[in-house]
Amino acid sequence: MSELTDTILRMRGISKTFPGVRALDDVNLEVLRGEIHAICGENGAGKSTLMKVLSGVYPHGEYDGEIEFDGEPCRFGGIRDSEHKGIVIIHQELALASNLSIAENIYLGNEMATRGLIDWNRTNAAAADLLRRVGLHENPTTPVLDLGVGKQQLVEIAKALSKRVRLLILDEPTAALNDDDSAHLLELLRGLREDGITCVIISHKLNEVLDIADRVTILRDGRTITTLPSEGLTEDRIISGMVGRDLDHRFPPHEPKIGEEVFRVENWTVHSPTQHGRVLVRDATLSLKRGEIVGLAGLMGAGRTELAMSIFGRSYGSDISGRLIKDGKEIRLRSVGEAIEHGIAYATEDRKRYGLNLIEDIKRNVSAAALSRLAKRGWVDDNEEYKVAEGYRKSLNIKAPSVSSVTGKLSGGNQQKVVLAKWIFTDPDVLILDEPTRGIDVGAKYEIYTIINELADAGKAVLVISSELPELLGLCDRIYTLSAGRITGEVPRAEATQEGLMTLMTAGQEIPS
């Protein structure tokens, strides 16, 4: 296996510097023909940068080092050059034109045309073939916006296949997928491996990495730490390579101090704002106690975010009915402002789109939801604002030179801490955290878990929504399961298992195969 001819890609001594940051420092990577090669590392370790160098996003000349693909030295001037060689990258944030059809997206920039006119019959037929190959049973003329994230991911792969891909790079392909879609995707990658397509996959989900990868390269602080065969490899071994220290526990120890009930949702029903009559959440009832961390588990599309956002001042959904009881009294939350006033906070699952003003600095983001606390008669005291933000920067360990740093330039973990600071500063009694560790590296996750524990210890009720069952099992005192808009179970921590939760999460609906 280890003869020279079997190495399809060799990157040697790759260094890449941004103003003030050395993102890659003499990185070496060798990928064998026909293997699935995983790259692991904390956020900021340089994984994405390395893949951008490889795919020509950073053209030759912007980095140091050599790339050899299929025995030939390569100097890509742009993505088109690398795609010409059969190297295709699928980014974490999918790049599909949502109003165009599946077929149009697959052949975007690569249209099947005769004499300048697109041959739609040929396009759609070829697209249908590709869709069969990736196991997506949809009409090629369906607009992409009608598809869920999992199916869109498959369209991206079909698009890559249409370019006669030989080396497929996937950046966090399963980050936004539920377990079923993830499993399907991983199965598809195995199938592609059978067809001789080499895969490089970046993932934070180490169980997946061990499941699917043949070899694993670990990056840390812009350097290659090691490349290991996945056989006999453990998650702990990868983690210790990524963080450079052993993490005995991925979850901080926590003794819950649970008090009386603080918030209760009764018979909560939410309808779709766009599709008339469609029920997103039906008759949901849940209760939160002071000092308690409660999990909400559900597959993608089960209505988790819809439930949370409809509670949070009706910021999502229509025709909402049910009762909210806070401290024993019924409250009505008709706007986000009223929700904040009543001590409810909701940290969104998509911090870049819904959580932060990325062009503003840390302090203005921290104060955004509670400006009135910093203002006298409508005028903001910006010195107090600085003091508050600086306090959170220290206590939450937000890694930034100062609170005047722009949030768009922070890493995912630090952005998430800014979001948390913003909501902690509203002084809530109930915090709803939607996917609080999505796309965050292991070290920062640990810090976020610690913050959540301390919030609970301060007497707040925390509702954590997460796609990662181990996270809920490690963090929560009690877990609700949501399936197709209904609460299907309530499991105390001691009795919860991944299998048991999964059964509840799929209860009352057809289990997609």
Partner 1 sequence: MSSLAPTNADLAVGAPPPVPVSKSGRKFSFNLRQSGIYLAFLAIVLLFTILTGGDMLAPQNISNIIVQNSYILILAIGMILIIIAGHIDLSVGSIVAACGAVAAVLMVEHSVPWPLAILITLVVGGVIGAWQGYWVAYFGIPAFIVTLAGMLLFRAVTLMILGNRGIGPFPDEVRTLSNGFVDGYLGNIGLGALGGADLLSLLVGVASVVGIVVVQWRARKGRQKYGQAVEPFPLFVAKIVVAAALVMFVVVQLARFRNLPWVLVLLAALVLGYSVLTNRAVFGRQIYAIGGNLQAATLSGVKVKSVIFWIFVNMGVLSALAGIIFAGRLNQANPTAGNQFELDAIAAAFIGGAAVQGGVGKVVGAITGGLIMGVINNGMSLIGAESEQVMLVKGAVLLAAVAFDIWTKRRAGASR
CB of 5 to partner 1, least distance (A): 34
Q: Which is nearer to partner 1, 328 or 378 (CB)?
A: 378
As measured in angstroms, the least distance from the Cβ of 22 to partner 1 is: 11
Quick one: which of 481, 367, 477, 475 has its CA closest to 426?
A: 367
Nearer to partner 1, 107 or 423 (CB): 423
Least distance to partner 1, CB of residue 96, Å:
20
Contact 310, 281 (CB under 8 A): yes
- The token duo for 470 is 């181990």
Structure-token pair, residue 359: 């062009």
CB of 337 to partner 1, least distance (A): 4
SS (H, E, C) 140-180: CCCEHHHCCHHHHHHHHHHHHHHCCCCEEEEECCCCCCCHH
By beta-carbon proximity to partner 1, the closer residue of 107 and 425 is: 425
Shortest CB 451 distance to partner 1, Å: 6
Find the shortest distance in angstroms from Cβ 59 to partner 1. 13
Nearer to partner 1, 64 or 179 (CB): 64
Give the Cα separation of 325 and 316 in Å (integer): 19
- For residues 130 and 154, the answer to whether their CB atoms sit within 8 Å is no
Residue 127 or 308: which CB sits closer to partner 1? 308
d(CA 66, CA 56): 13
CB 425 → partner 1: shortest distance, Å?
5
- Which residues 6+ apart lie within 8 Å of 90 measured at CB? 153, 156, 157, 160, 168, 169, 170, 171, 173
List the beta bridge partners of residue 492. Answer: 478
Determine contact, residues 428/449, Cβ cutoff 8 Å: no
Q: What gap in Å lies between CA 404 and CA 362, rounded to an integer?
A: 6
Two tokens, residue 417: 């801490």
Q: Which is nearer to partner 1, 70 or 350 (CB)?
A: 350
SS3 42: coil
| Residue pair 416/443 in contact by the 8 Å Cβ criterion | no
Q: How far is the CB of 303 from partner 1 (least distance, A)?
A: 18
